[in-house]
Structure 1
Amino acid sequence: MRFVRFGPRGEEKPGVIDDDGQLRDLSAQVADLSGEVLARLTRLDVRAAPVVADSPRLGVPVAGVGKIVCVGMNYSDHARENGMQPPREPILFLKATTALCGPTDPIIRPLGSEMLDWEVELGAVISRRTRYVDEAQALDHVAGYVAINDLSDRSYQLERAGQWTKGKSADSFAPVGPWLVPPRDAGDPQDLALRLWVNGVLRQDGSSARMIFPVARLVSYASQFMTLEPGDILATGTPKGVGMGQRPPVYLVPGDVVELEVEGLGRQRQVVEDEPAA
């Protein structure tokens, strides 16, 4: 099953893509894909949900996201391309929830931004309140997996007093989706291909097998420092091939088209636009 939220921005309804590829409306069964619903996704009666005739916009496939917890330098090849040693512990930072957008919504380059970069990532969505969970039980707290583009402005991230969050949190800097796929349907989270193209050129071609810290470790680790709530998203890092790692560096400009996919989790497509002048 592949869960989605569809409709105009701010008015999305819960839905599911069935085994025949049909979009079905779940709004008669659940108010939204959020809260306690996330712990019982696979028990919903998909066949009883009516088919949606048209092809509406897809939004972020989970609602009620309280926080986006991101992991830096979690792929060995990405650490090497940045000339860094693999970290001894996971590097955590937060991304503002106002950065959330749908998988085909435009990327908005902020005012003054000249180093806009891409990062395809596997995201884990939390299903229930999680605190001090052991690594062995951590994946039992995952509702499903999503694809994320963890966009960044590298100058804001690295040259503005070293605060990663300020370079990661502009509006549109967290496209998520198109699908939320439950663990039983997503496969092994440590054996998924991740790819990203810019203007048709393959820039990232990696595998979650190259994570330094696996998803279970990351969920457990983050829960030692903060309570994870249903709907929170854990972005687990990116493989090599980001713009900053190109020689010379390559950054996104208006008109560029970014496409990405995480194996089994669907494909995104975004066009870069400039923030309108005030």
Structure 2
Amino acid sequence: MRFATFTANGATFFGAITNDGAIALNDAFPDQASLYEVIASGAFEKLTEAAAGREVTHKEFTYEMVMPDVRRILCVGVNFPDRNAEYKDGSEQPKYMSLFPRFASGFTGHDRPLIRPPENQTLDYEGEVVIVIGKSGRRISQEDAYDHIAALTLCNEGTIRDWVRHAKFNVTQGKNWDNSGAIGPWLVPFTDAAQLDDARIQTHVNGELRQDDTLNRMMFPIRREIEYISTFMTLLPGDIIVTGTPTGAGARFDPPKYLEPGDVVEISVEGIGTLRNTVEDEQV
């Protein structure tokens, strides 16, 4: 079963996605106004039950960022060995992972355009797997880490590369341009460790394979990410962790292959789906 946030006829819904269309489930959760609120209230597993036996309510709709009101998004940077080597600074695998925050306003939905701002044209792509926390926890062990995941989705962690160099110690500026990235298309319930341990992620730009790697090569596996992050903060239902991108982003080509209007970026993981976005210039 797949669950998404979508709009139709000027209204926003959350619900199940089928091969025939969408099933709005808002009326089944009168106390929760969004998919995020359903997860935050601990009711994610009830979505499948609520969708059972219902007819499609919308055949035409537009995908939104899968949880547009999510409170906290943490991203793991430089998490594949080849990505570490791309920096050409001679460093070995770091002892601790790099982390940075992103905000929901920086993401759009599936089949929506990534927006390139007029201030800078170094818009880049980063294909990543996303985990959504379903059970709160602090100082979670790696052994128990997967028990705290509710769902999986995909992210194009779009970045304005020149703006990650505006300060010495942070990348926040380059990582939070409005609608520069995407999360979606939907949430897939996490039911089996193999969904992550055996996952291969691929990114295509205009049909060209740019990124291709397996999650089992991460320098900081997802179990370790959950353990480490939950050391300093309590992870809460609905929290998003964007787990890291493989080598092959546009900035690492010579010359760089940044995104341009008309480009199509597709990020795929078997068992989760494909997140597809076009690219447009911002209209100012």
Report matched runs for 1:218-257 at 5 Å.
218-257=225-264
Shift of 1:163: 2.0
CA, structure 1 residues 8+54, in 2 after alignment: closer, same or farther (shift >3 Å)? Answer: closer
Query: Which letter maps to 2:246?
Result: P
CA, structure 1 residues 89+161, in 2 after alignment: closer, same or farther (shift >3 Å)? Answer: closer
Percentage identity across paired residues of the two chains? 36
Shift of 1:28: 2.2
Query: Which letter maps to 2:207?
Result: G
Equivalents in 1 of 2:148, 2:2: separation in Å? 18
Q: SS at 1:166's partner residue?
A: helix
Q: SS at 1:176's partner residue?
A: strand
1:7 maps to which residue?
7
Equivalents in 2 of 1:11, 1:260: separation in Å? 28
Mapped pair 1:62 → 2:62 = no
Q: SS at 2:186's partner residue?
A: coil
2:273 maps to which residue?
266
Equivalents in 1 of 2:194, 2:55: separation in Å? 27
Q: TM-score, normalised by structure 2?
A: 0.89
2:203 maps to which residue?
196
Equivalents in 2 of 1:161, 1:87: separation in Å? 18
The answer (yes or no) to whether the contact 1:186–1:265 under 8 Å persists in 2 is: no
**Superposed CA offset, 1:204-241 (max 9, x none):** 11111211111111012111122322222100000111
Equivalents in 1 of 2:239, 2:99: separation in Å? 14
Equivalents in 2 of 1:227, 1:41: separation in Å? 19
Equivalents in 1 of 2:205, 2:123: separation in Å? 12
**Superposed CA offset, 1:128-165 (max 9, x none):** 33322222222211111110001111110124444211
Choose 138-147 or 260-269, whichever is displaced more.
260-269
Q: How many pairs align? A: 276
Query: Which letter maps to 2:203?
Result: L
Query: Which letter maps to 2:27?
Result: A
2:212 maps to which residue?
205
Q: SS at 2:139's partner residue?
A: coil
Equivalents in 2 of 1:122, 1:69: separation in Å? 12
The answer (yes or no) to whether the contact 1:190–1:208 under 8 Å persists in 2 is: yes
1:26 maps to which residue?
25
The answer (yes or no) to whether the contact 1:121–1:262 under 8 Å persists in 2 is: no
2:86 maps to which residue?
81
CA, structure 1 residues 22+54, in 2 after alignment: closer, same or farther (shift >3 Å)? Answer: closer
Mapped pair 1:41 → 2:44 = yes
Shift of 1:186: 7.9
Choose 145-154 or 81-90, whichever is displaced more.
81-90
Q: Which structure 1 segments of 5+ residues have no match?
A: none
Counterpart of 1:50 (choices 37, 55, 62) is 55
Query: Which letter maps to 1:150?
Result: E
Query: Which letter maps to 2:25?
Result: L
Q: SS at 2:112's partner residue?
A: coil
Q: Which structure 2 segments of 5+ residues have no match?
A: none
Q: SS at 1:98's partner residue?
A: helix
CA, structure 1 residues 11+79, in 2 after alignment: closer, same or farther (shift >3 Å)? Answer: farther
Shift of 1:70: 0.4
Q: TM-score, normalised by structure 1?
A: 0.90
CA, structure 1 residues 21+181, in 2 after alignment: closer, same or farther (shift >3 Å)? Answer: farther
Equivalents in 2 of 1:153, 1:170: separation in Å? 8
The answer (yes or no) to whether the contact 2:204–2:210 under 8 Å persists in 1 is: yes
The alignment's C-alpha RMSD in Å is 2.2
Mapped pair 1:167 → 2:162 = no
Counterpart of 1:95 (choices 76, 92, 102) is 102
CA, structure 1 residues 9+91, in 2 after alignment: closer, same or farther (shift >3 Å)? Answer: farther
